[in-house]
Chain A
Amino acid sequence: METKQPTTLRRFMPLIIFTALVVLLGIGLTLNPRMVPSPFIGKPAPAFELPLLLQQGNFSEEDFKGHVTLFNVWASWCFACRQEHEVVKYLSSNGVRIIGMNYKDESDDAKAWLVRLGNPYQAIATDLDGKVGIDWGVYGAPETFLVDQDGIIRHKVIGPLSSVENMQDLLEVSTEQGFDALSGVLKTIIKKMEK
């Protein structure tokens, strides 16, 4: 009777399959299930018109045109917004145009928060009931959209800007898009954050 001697490859097959499975599942485990990619990338900002928090008047998607803007969704109830606030302030004081969207907040709470922590925003649109938030695909604060001078959404940061990883992703897109001024500021702050 002839018995087939298993070749080395055959002998190690279970181990190979097992290892491949472990790697695959390992990748699955380390993915962040909260990262929902935005379908808006490369598309024009959704139309909206919201009253401003601190001034008279409204803010609409037309007001994005002409500048590269970071559109930062925040609220006074949002803990991570406080964490990223120093970074937002740094960006703002270095010439980055930052527009806020005060998301599902009480206006008085929002104003008090700004007085206490400082106001880095050039304008703040107030979305009291979160309807415009839904239109933008917002599902939590903080979120930050990078909107270009033509009002096209180029990137969405989910979570705080105080995360180096988030900032590096933002820098990558900013460099790709040729937003030199923004990229420069991002580079310096990332260096500071890494220290």
Chain B
Amino acid sequence: MNRSLSLLLSLKLGMQAGLLAGLLLLTGYSAAAPIETFKFDSPEKEKIFHKLSEELRCLVCQNQNVAESNADLAKDLRQQIYDMLSEGKTEDEIVEYMVQRYGDYVLYRPPMKPMTWLLWFGPVIGFFFGLFFVMRFMKAQSGSKQPQALSEKEIERIKNLHAEQDGK
């Protein structure tokens, strides 16, 4: 029983460490953003601009968003977002424009649809799958430690064995 407790504890610690690492990854942010100056006529537009350029993937550089990348295409896409905002387009309209041209791939937050279910729920399914095996393993371990009462047949057999030995 002690052993399974310590296993549980280490599992919990591991999960905490994993969570922390995950959070760090999520919030990990490149400080070196390319320098450009865009003038916005309202703070809302500026907010949308920053939000969009952080959520759209730079297609040529991979694993960088449009805000971080110095690639030419990222520059063009930033300009495009700025132009569309200046024309009074909404956030959704701009996202739709990008998806129409570059597909869902351009989004760092892919939409929820049957094709992306595995992407969204895969990690959770994987976690419960793993948890199931850990639990089963722990149960088997604790079970094997507790000796069960001997059946009558077994007692009989031991007696016989002793008798056999004594007889020799």
Contact = CB atoms under 8 A, between A and B. Distances in A.
Interface of A: 1, 3, 33-34, 36-40, 46, 104, 129-131, 133-137, 139-140
B76 A1 contact: no
Contacts of A140: 59-60, 73
Contacts of B76: 129-131, 133-134
A140 to B, nearest CB: 5
B89 to A, nearest CB: 14
Given A139-B73, A140-B60, A140-B73, A37 B105 contact: yes
A71 to B, nearest CB: 15
Contacts of A136: 101
Contact of A36 (B80, B105, B148): B105
Contacts of B148: 1
Contact of B72 (A3, A46, A104, A135): A104
A39 B80 contact: no
Given A134-B76, A134-B77, A134-B80, A34 B62 contact: yes
B167 to A, nearest CB: 27
22 contacts: A34-B60, A36-B59, A36-B102, A38-B103, A39-B100, A39-B101, A39-B103, A40-B101, A130-B76, A131-B76, A133-B76, A134-B77, A134-B80, A134-B101, A135-B101, A137-B101, A137-B103, A139-B59, A139-B60, A139-B102, A140-B60, A140-B73
B147 interface: yes
B99 interface: yes
Contacts of B59: 36, 139-140
Most A CB atoms within 10 A — which of B59, B77, B147? B59
Nearest to A4: B140
Interface in B72-110: 72-73, 76-77, 80, 99-103, 105
